[in-house]
Amino acid sequence: MNWVQLTATKELEQLKELSKNNLILIFKHSTKCGTSRTVLSRFERAWREEEMKKVKPYFLDLLVHRDVSDKIEEGFGIIHESPQLLLIKDGKCIFNVSHYGVDYMFLKNKLFKILKN
């Protein structure tokens, strides 16, 4: 999986702009959390690049870049959780899920509905 590392708060404005033409996926991960490691591993194993051509995946290491997570919470109005998956479109978070709710097939079905509209 080709994650783009999210490392600075200033990148969030760029993501909002990018989300006008792309769907942006942000995966918030805690390297000290067993649940987060398990969810990340399952998600990466299931990911199919050919099915997700319209999605740009970004990865946020929460322990290293907690300031970015705080800015996400503030800027998108989404309460911080870990692991957490957010889908950004037109500068807004249109979908988020956490813990074992982070599931590739669920995301794929959600994207199908979004792209269909």
Domain assignment of residue 47, given as a range: 4-116
Per the structure, how many domains does the chain have? 1
Which residues partner with 25 through β-bridges? 57, 87
Taking the C-alpha atoms of residue 31 and residue 62, their distance in angstroms, rounded to an integer, is 8
Distance CA 24, CA 107 (A): 12
Write the CATH number for 12: 3.40.30.10
The one-digit pLDDT tens for each residue of the chain (117 residues) are 899 999 999 999 999 999 999 999 999 999 999 999 999 999 999 999 998 988 999 999 999 999 999 999 999 999 999 999 999 999 999 999 999 999 999 888 888 787 776
